[in-house]
């Protein structure tokens, strides 16, 4: 007798299946408006994936608990959250002010033929100035943009912490006053929240009146002033991949839904695996505990102290996730047109195999109208420290390698020239050649 076909594996997981009555199924189907996609997976015979997974509701309930936002759309990462929300909100010719939009944020605005206008406080661009909240919005700059573009501003982006100017925090007072000013002009505020827990830590440790508040209490207050948030969960969510949009604006939720499904996936997973949604819920709850954040930030500040010993200039005070070395003050012989920070990034890699990141003139990209390089901001080499990965011994190696480059800085007389670049967000793929 020929043997029957058998699968090439054996199954070792047992999961009970929850049965239901017809009366229950009628009730649930009515609540889902006769659309089985909208059923929770617990209401389906043996299904945990795709539509209505319990891990989505675990994640969604955690986000609502920590932020106060009721409507949640998961995405596979933060830039995907921006893509979904901005596809609904950003149209050609509109103006989106922000405190130093990060690269993808600006890219998603400018790719839609709109304009990203920086309204960061001027103190952010003096790297040696010691002030506690360099990430703040300049209310004067912001009001000027709002006055000159009435009816043409779909929302404002408030980034906490402010990555582009060195991982610098935004004070609660500034968050409140920024949102109040925007709302006065009928403009909603979206918080770019990749590092909102770190921002809450700095509010607790630096701002008067918050020392006795928990990070949860501070986060809830932060978001209470705003209208929505986008988040790259790979940062303060402690996951390998994931992101989300959250809001209390039902019209924004309904509008963004139209773009989530074709770009990301169904509304209850949006490009994330079920296990990743569960991991995000756990990660947010873990990371919002003070001791967790303090351990991370103290490691960043440990590296800062080593650089102080060696006299290496960086954006002061040290931020929450990275040290931003001031390349203009290190490679003083190299003109901005030869990209000092990109040159220093390459030198550090050659010295010790350390891959830092240029946050400067290359990342700033070209002006979308004039096509000229934008040289108005800082030119940083970002030494970003992953959470719960490296020891202080690793920080010592980074500092020593940077010191070696710093000690021979006078021998680095020429920088780099771009030989090929993409039209948008060029820093990820552009090519250079060495000069001299």
Catalytic residues: 50, 102-103, 192, 194, 235, 427
CA distance 99 to 170: 10
Residue 192: closest CA among 138, 226, 242, 230: 230
142: its two tokens = 């912001």
Residue 81: closest CA among 167, 223, 191, 4: 191
Length reported for the chain:
436
Q: Helix, strand or coil for residue 216?
A: helix
151: its two tokens = 């009816």
CA distance 377 to 399: 25
CA distance 309 to 304: 9
Q: List C-alpha distances in Å: 388 to 235, 266, 295, 299.
A: 11, 32, 9, 10
209: its two tokens = 């009146």
Element (H, E) at 73: strand 71-75
Beta pairing, strands 189-192 & 228-232: parallel
The backbone torsions φ and ψ at residue 50, rounded to the nearest 5 degrees and listed phi first, read 65, -105
Strand order in the sheet with 156-159: 71-75, 243-247, 228-232, 189-192, 156-159, 95-98, 115-118
CA distance 189 to 66: 18
Q: What residue has token string 């006055």? A: 147
């Amino acid at each position: 007798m020929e043997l029957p076909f058998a699968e090439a594996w054996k199954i070792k997981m047992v999961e009970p299946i929850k049965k239901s009555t017809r009366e229950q199924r009628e009730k649930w189907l009515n609540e889902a408006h006769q659309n089985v996609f909208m059923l929770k997976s617990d209401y389906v015979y043996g299904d945990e994936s795709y539509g209505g997974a319990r891990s989505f509701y675990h994640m969604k309930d955690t986000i609502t608990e920590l932020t106060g936002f009721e409507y949640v759309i998961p995405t596979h990462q933060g830039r995907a959250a921006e893509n979904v929300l901005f596809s609904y909100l950003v149209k050609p010719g509109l103006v989106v002010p922000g405190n130093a939009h990060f690269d993808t944020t600006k890219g998603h605005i400018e790719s839609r033929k709109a304009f990203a206008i920086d309204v960061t406080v001027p103190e952010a661009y003096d790297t040696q100035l010691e002030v506690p909240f360099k990430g703040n919005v300049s209310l004067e700059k912001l009001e000027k943009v709002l006055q000159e573009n009435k009816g043409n501003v779909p929302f404002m982006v408030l980034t906490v912490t402010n990555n582009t100017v060195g991982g610098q925090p935004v004070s609660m007072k500034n968050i409140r006053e920024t949102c109040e000013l925007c709302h006065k002009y009928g403009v909603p505020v979206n918080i770019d929240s990749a590092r909102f827990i770190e921002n809450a830590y700095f509010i607790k440790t630096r701002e008067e009146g918050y020392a006795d508040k928990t990070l949860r209490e501070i986060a809830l207050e932060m978001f209470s002033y705003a209208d929505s948030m986008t988040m790259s969960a790979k940062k303060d969510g402690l996951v390998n991949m994931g992101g989300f949009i959250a809001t209390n604006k039902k019209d924004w939720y309904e509008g963004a839904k139209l773009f989530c499904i074709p770009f990301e996936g169904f509304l209850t997973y949006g490009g994330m695996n079920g296990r990743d949604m569960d991991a995000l819920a756990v990660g947010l709850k873990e990371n919002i505990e003070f001791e967790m954040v303090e351990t991370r930030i103290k490691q960043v500040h440990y590296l800062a102290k080593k650089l102080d010993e060696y006299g290496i200039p960086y954006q002061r005070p040290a931020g929450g996730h990275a040290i931003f070395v001031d390349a203009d003050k290190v490679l003083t012989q190299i003109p901005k047109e030869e990209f000092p920070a990109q040159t220093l990034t390459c030198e550090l890699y050659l010295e010790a195999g350390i891959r830092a990141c240029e946050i400067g003139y290359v990342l700033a990209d070209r002006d979308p109208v004039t096509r000229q390089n934008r040289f108005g901001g800082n030119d940083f080499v970002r030494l970003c420290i992953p959470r719960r990965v490296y020891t202080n011994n690793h920080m010592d190696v980074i500092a020593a390698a940077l010191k070696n480059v710093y000690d021979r800085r006078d021998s680095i007389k020429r920088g780099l020239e771009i030989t090929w670049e993409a039209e948008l967000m060029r820093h990820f793929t552009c090519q250079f050649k060495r000069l001299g």
